[in-house]
C-alpha cells in the first residue's frame, strides 16, 4: 500500500503547504493538493495565489490574490503552525513569484524547508496560468530556492528552449534546468507520446535517476502534475531523500491516474479518493 506513516489520532501530523491556485472545478490546483495531503495523512496548509474560474472544459479566467494576502498566508502559518515541506503550483505573475520567494527567504525557510516547485504555465487545455513575462522570475527567483523542480515537457520547452524528443534531449534538459539553481530537476516524460512508458528523469548535477512507470492512458488526467508534486512534498516532509520521494510520488500519481473519473463534459480529474477503498 502507498502510505506515509500515519499519525495516531489526537497527535499533530506533518504539515505540508501548498502555494497555488484554486480550481473551481475541483480537479487540479489547491483542491488536488489538499486531497492528496489528506489521503496521505498529512495536514495541508494553504496560501492561495489566484482563484481560477474553470470547469472540465477549460479555464475561463482568473483573479490574482493581492500580494500582501499571499505573503500574509505564508507568514501566518509559518510563524505559528510550522511547515515541514511545501510545493508551489500556479503563481500567475512575476510579482507573485517575487513575493513568494522573498517571504520564503525572510522566514528562514530557504535552507530548512524542502520546496517542490511545479512550474505551472498552462492548463491541459493550453489556457495560460502564468503570464509569459513571468518565466524569467520563475527561473531567477524561485528555482534557486527549490529542492526539486518538476516541469512537464511543455514547461521544459518554455523554460529552457529544449524540445525533449528522446533520452538525449531529456538529459540535456535536466542539465539546463539544474543549471538554473534547484538542488534537483525532474524532467517528466509523461507527455512523450511516442513512448509506451512514461520515463521521468531526475538529476542533481551529478547523478541521473530514471523512473519508469507504465503509462495510464485515461482521458481524465486533470491535476496529475499537481498530485505528483503534492505527494513528493509529503514524502519530503516525512524525511525521504529526493529520489525516494519522487519514486513515492510516481507510485501515488499512477494509482490516482488509474482511479481517474469523468466529470462534466471535458476532462475529468485524477483521483486520490481511491485510498478510501483500502
Ligand atoms: O494542473 C495545473 C494547474 C494548477 N493549478 C490550477 C489549475 C491547473 C490546471 O488547470 O487550474 C489552479
What DSSP string describes 135-182? HHHIIIIIGGG-SEE---HHHHHHHH-----SHHHHHHHHHHHHTTS-
Q: How far is the CA of 11 from the centre of ligand 1 (A)?
A: 32
Tell me if 3 is assigned to some domain. Answer: no
Q: How many domains are contained in the chain?
A: 1
Q: In this structure, what C-alpha cell is assigned to residue 87?
A: 510545493
The pLDDT of residue 195 is 55
Q: How far is the CA of 201 from the centre of ligand 1 (A)?
A: 22
Tell me if 6 is assigned to some domain. Answer: no
Question: Distance between terminal CA atoms of the chain?
Answer: 9
Question: Each residue of 137-182: pLDDT tens digit?
Answer: 999 999 999 999 999 999 999 999 999 999 999 999 999 999 999 9
Tell me if 111 is assigned to some domain. Answer: yes
Find the residues whose C-beta lies inside 6 A of ligand 1: 20-21, 23, 28-29, 52, 54, 59, 89-90, 120, 123, 129, 223, 225-226
Tell me if 178 is assigned to some domain. Answer: yes
Q: What is the mean pLDDT of residues 184-210?
A: 84
Does position 184 have pLDDT exceeding 80, yes or no? yes
Distance CA 19, CA 33 (A): 10
Q: In this structure, what C-alpha cell is assigned to residue 93?
A: 505573475
Residue among 236, 237, 231, 276 at smallest CA distance from 254: 231
Distance CA 116, CA 36 (A): 15
Distance CA 84, CA 196 (A): 36
Other beta carbons within 10 angstroms of residue 189's beta carbon come to: 22
**Closest ligand 1 atom, CA of 224?**
1
Distance CA 189, CA 152 (A): 7
Question: Each residue of 243-269: pLDDT tens digit?
Answer: 999 999 999 999 999 999 999 999 999
Tell me if 9 is assigned to some domain. Answer: no
Strand-pair partners of 23: 52
CB under 8 Å, gap of 24 or more: what pairs does 252-257 form?
Answer: 252/2, 252/36, 252/40, 252/227, 252/228, 253/224, 253/227, 253/228, 254/213, 254/214, 254/216, 255/2, 256/36, 256/224, 256/227, 257/216, 257/218, 257/221, 257/224
pTM above 0.95, yes or no: yes
Q: How far is the CA of 63 from the centre of ligand 1 (A)?
A: 13
Q: How far is the CA of 164 from the centre of ligand 1 (A)?
A: 22
| CATH number of the domain where residue 130 is located | 3.40.1190.20
29, 51, 225, best to mutate for ligand 1 pocket (most atoms within 8 Å of CB): 29
Other beta carbons within 10 angstroms of residue 11's beta carbon come to: 7
96 SS3 class: helix
Enclosing domain of residue 24 = 15-277
Q: What is the mean pLDDT of residues 80-103?
A: 98
Spatial CB neighbours of 118, under 8 Å, sequence gap ≥ 6: 87, 88, 89, 149, 150, 151, 225, 226, 228, 229
Q: Per mean pLDDT, which range of 133-137, 138-142, 214-218, 235-239 is the poorest?
A: 214-218
Tell me if 2 is assigned to some domain. Answer: no
Q: Which residue has the higher pLDDT, 99 or 194?
A: 99
Q: In this structure, what C-alpha cell is assigned to residue 214?
A: 507504465
Distance CA 70, CA 133 (A): 20
Tell me if 180 is assigned to some domain. Answer: yes
Q: How far is the CA of 194 from the centre of ligand 1 (A)?
A: 25
Tell me if 31 is assigned to some domain. Answer: yes
Amino acid at each position: 500500500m502507498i502510505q506515509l506513516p500515519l499519525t495516531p489520532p489526537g497527535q499533530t501530523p506533518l504539515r505540508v503547504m501548498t502555494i497555488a491556485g484554486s480550481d473551481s472545478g475541483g480537479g487540479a490546483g489547491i483542491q488536488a493538493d489538499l486531497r492528496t495531503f489528506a489521503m496521505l495523512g498529512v495536514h495541508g496548509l494553504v496560501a492561495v495565489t489566484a482563484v481560477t474560474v474553470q470547469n472540465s472544459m477549460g479555464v475561463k479566467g482568473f483573479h490574482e490574490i493581492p500580494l500582501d494576502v499571499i505573503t500574509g498566508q505564508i507568514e501566518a502559518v509559518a510563524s505559528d503552525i510550522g511547515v515541514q515541506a511545501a510545493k508551489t503550483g500556479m503563481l500567475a505573475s512575476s510579482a507573485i513569484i517575487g513575493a513568494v520567494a522573498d517571504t520564503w527567504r525572510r522566514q528562514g525557510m530557504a535552507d530548512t524547508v524542502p520546496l517542490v516547485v511545479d512550474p505551472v504555465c498552462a492548463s491541459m487545455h493550453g489556457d495560460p496560468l502564468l503570464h509569459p513575462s513571468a518565466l524569467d522570475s520563475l527561473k531567477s527567483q524561485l528555482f534557486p530556492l527549490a529542492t526539486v523542480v518538476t516541469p512537464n515537457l511543455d514547461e521544459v520547452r518554455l523554460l529552457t528552449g529544449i524540445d525533449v524528443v528522446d533520452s538525449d534531449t531529456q538529459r540535456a534538459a535536466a542539465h539546463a534546468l539544474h543549471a538554473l539553481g534547484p538542488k534537483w530537476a525532474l524532467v517528466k516524460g509523461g507527455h512523450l507520446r511516442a513512448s509506451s512508458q512514461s520515463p521521468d528523469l531526475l538529476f542533481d548535477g551529478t547523478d541521473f535517476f530514471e523512473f519508469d512507470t507504465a503509462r495510464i492512458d485515461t482521458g481524465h488526467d486533470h491535476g496529475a502534475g499537481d498530485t505528483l508534486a503534492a505527494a513528493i512534498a509529503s514524502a519530503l516532509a516525512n524525511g525521504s531523500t529526493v529520489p525516494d520521494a519522487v519514486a513515492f510520488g510516481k507510485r501515488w500519481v499512477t494509482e490516482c491516474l488509474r482511479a481517474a473519473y469523468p466529470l462534466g463534459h471535458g476532462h475529468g480529474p485524477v483521483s486520490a479518493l481511491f485510498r478510501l477503498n483500502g
